[in-house]
Amino acid sequence: MNTLGLVSLIVRDYDEAIDFYTSKLGFVVAEDAAFGEDRWVTLQAPGSKDVAIALHRAQQDADRALVGKQGGSFPLFGLKVDDCIAEYQRMRALGVTFHGEPEVQFYGTGVLLDDLYGNTIYLNQEPAGAP
């Protein structure tokens, strides 16, 4: 194995998910193209070309049941940021729902947030001096 390149996220609607992830979390649309009767949509963190999130519109009952629950009781994924407090304040002002305020831990400063469907995401700033 060389590297992780793509992670899937099941969504109710492409456009509402694109809007949330770009305007509130700061992702950029890498691809948005017709794919048969569906769409191929990928999002990336700005400046990151290594990993993309592929959005998949829920089409079956089993898919719809997973929307907002893909991580179970754990964060679906983590977002690494340079300044957790600043990102928390920026996103909170945009209406993002957080589980409390950022806390300093041995592994960094972080806080949980919910995406538009209720998936939990961990926002984390590495501790000073971390590689």
pLDDT digits (tens, 9 = 90+) for 106-127: 999 999 999 999 999 999 999 9
Across 47-85, b (16+ Cβ under 10 Å) vs e yields eeeeebbbbbbbeeeeeeeebbebeeeebbeebebeebe
pLDDT at 89: 98
In whole angstroms, give the CA distance from residue 24 to residue 90.
8
Nearest to 122 by CA among 22, 107, 8: 107
Q: What is the pLDDT of residue 130?
A: 65
The band of 128, judged by pLDDT with boundaries at 50, 70 and 90, is confident
N residues, the chain: 131
CB 18 within 8 A of CB 29: yes
Task: Quickly name the fold that domain 72-131 has.
Answer: 2,3-Dihydroxybiphenyl 1,2-Dioxygenase; domain 1 (3.10.180)
Which CATH homologous superfamily contains domain 1-67?
2,3-Dihydroxybiphenyl 1,2-Dioxygenase, domain 1 (3.10.180.10)
The whole-number average pLDDT for the span 69-74 is: 95
Q: Does 72-131 match 1-67 at the fold level?
A: yes
Q: Quick one: pLDDT at residue 48?
A: 84
